[in-house]
Structure 1
């Protein structure tokens, strides 16, 4: 399949690109000239690179028309860090740019739109979440993701395109950004630092990034898959047990600062995906949490120099 992939230089995007190429798809990636493509540097000679900004997609229109994608996997998003969750750019840049991209690809004959949503669309549900759970986002990030989900669904109906939307819960793995909990913890412990933590009582659903990419590509190639799909492992573990497992894979003697960080007033204590819809189309996670964490620790151990302060 001829696939236009946005967000290819990012964490999830880099794994998705590898998966697509392994399956024999023909891929074009969108990349700003200022981007650092370190995650996919060795793959660029196997793809078509469209230079421009996906959030001003008119800069890409000519290249998209020449490539003529059959499908789009839209992963790019500005402002995924916690500090940016209520930035107004969530609304004013992500949503209009994505809608314009959809219009442009629809006019080239594209038939499949696969978008990446977020568990933030549900808000702090504090329960096992199915696709039928009420959506009640509490951040501009979650509101914008939900708005784009609904708008692109309607536009896909208008243009006669297949619409699929995967609401990602929590992902982890090698090459992640260092400000998320798991890489922060690993890097702190590798530096022999004592990480400051909450009590760790939260129950969290973590999915290995290779499985995230596998699910995205599974939905792409399962052309009968339409609508919203929750994307997680389907299991929840206490953060304390996850943290202790990571510590024990580095050095069992290292101290952990449990309880040194208070819970936020809006702290979500139970985040878990019901992945029944994905299982129904033949997908399930392949990587256990223990296996994935070991691989992640070893990657950061070998690549610690990238994050030296």
Structure 2
């Protein structure tokens, strides 16, 4: 392994960030996780700082008496069901730019930040290819991410800092919001309720959240410059994902494809070219789609059983 680095991970207790921190700590790096609340099961190998990045007065305190050579910036507005058009996206652009400037002033040398696959204008066929597929964001969330990326690219060039921009595709695995696609389907079936969903014809690219964390860790330690896809590189229809989950649960009869309308203007084809991620960083995925689905099912089965136990004991949630 190369010499240890001092790495700051914003959003370090989030869906992706906790896995980024675990991988980097396991490899012997000095890792500091930054967030507003600490995980209940804290990793003793990871230092934790509690700050709200949107508070301009708090930002300088992060770097007071501390230095980091690498910054992995994952924190953003991600509230399920509202992040696409949330005004907070503007706050996160401003906060991110302040953070990057302070990081540079403190002697930082490499920035890796999280982008999104919906920055792309999805092609009719084939994968999205970083550096080739047109970038044409349509939602405020994607526009805000793209705006931050453009400023970040220019600023890092001026400051002679290296940077990488990881565009994340679809995620799957333990810890997702309960109303996201897979958890909502799994929870319905566990309750013996119909799993109502859209047509499922949309082609997507699903990646395990643990693999996503490992990919960002590899990206941070690499010399990759510019945008790159964080994805599995395997196209699959949403219907196939739903049917596989239902089959694992032994209740394919509960799936109701087409019971909900497809979202307006939703891209029928959105998946990524993962070649550069593995070729340049050496990253290799660990979890198959089946393994990710099984982990998600195990997680939600445990959660549903806990709710039943609490209800039987008269404990309200």
On whether the aligned pair clears a TM of 0.5, the verdict is: yes
User: Which structure: greater helix fraction?
Assistant: 1
Aligned-residue offset at 1:37: 2.4
**Which residue of structure 2 lines up, in the alignment, with residue 287 of structure 1?**
287
What SS does structure 1 have at the residue aligned with 2:195?
coil
**Which residue of structure 1 lines up, in the alignment, with residue 213 of structure 2?**
213
The 5 A counterparts of 1:244-263 are: 244-252=243-251, 254-263=253-262
Change (3 A) 1:305 1:31: farther
Aligned-residue offset at 1:278: 1.1
Determine if contact 1:233/1:273 at 8 Å carries over to the other structure: yes
Per-residue CA deviations over 1:216-249 (Å, capped at 9, x if unaligned) read: 0111111x21111011110111111111110111
Change (3 A) 1:110 1:253: closer
| Bigger mean CA offset, 270-279 vs 59-68 | 59-68
- Cα distance in 2 for residues equivalent to 1:152 and 1:304: 43
**Which residue of structure 1 lines up, in the alignment, with residue 194 of structure 2?**
194
Determine if contact 1:192/1:254 at 8 Å carries over to the other structure: no
What SS does structure 2 have at the residue aligned with 1:67?
coil
- Cα distance in 2 for residues equivalent to 1:306 and 1:78: 29
**Which residue of structure 2 lines up, in the alignment, with residue 121 of structure 1?**
119
Change (3 A) 1:268 1:5: same
Unmatched tracts of structure 1, length 5 or more: none
**Which residue of structure 1 lines up, in the alignment, with residue 39 of structure 2?**
37
Determine if contact 2:73/2:111 at 8 Å carries over to the other structure: yes
- Cα distance in 1 for residues equivalent to 2:265 and 2:34: 36
- Cα distance in 1 for residues equivalent to 2:7 and 2:253: 46
Per-residue CA deviations over 1:134-190 (Å, capped at 9, x if unaligned) read: 111110000001111111111111222111000000011111111210111111111
Query: Is it true that 1:299 corresponds to 2:299 in the alignment?
Result: yes
Per-residue CA deviations over 1:265-291 (Å, capped at 9, x if unaligned) read: 212211110122212212232221112
Aligned-residue RMSD, C-alpha: 1.8
- Cα distance in 2 for residues equivalent to 1:271 and 1:237: 10
Change (3 A) 1:166 1:254: same
Residue 96 of structure 2 is aligned with which of 95, 98, 102?
98
- Cα distance in 2 for residues equivalent to 1:57 and 1:7: 17
Aligned-residue offset at 1:36: 5.8
| Bigger mean CA offset, 201-210 vs 273-282 | 273-282
**Which residue of structure 2 lines up, in the alignment, with residue 17 of structure 1?**
21
Query: Is it true that 1:157 corresponds to 2:157 in the alignment?
Result: yes
| Bigger mean CA offset, 56-65 vs 254-263 | 56-65
The 5 A counterparts of 1:66-77 are: 66-77=65-76
- Cα distance in 2 for residues equivalent to 1:307 and 1:95: 38
Aligned-residue offset at 1:88: 2.3
TM-score by length of 1: 0.92
Determine if contact 2:38/2:48 at 8 Å carries over to the other structure: no
**Which residue of structure 2 lines up, in the alignment, with residue 177 of structure 1?**
177
Aligned-residue offset at 1:126: 4.1
- Cα distance in 1 for residues equivalent to 2:307 and 2:121: 32
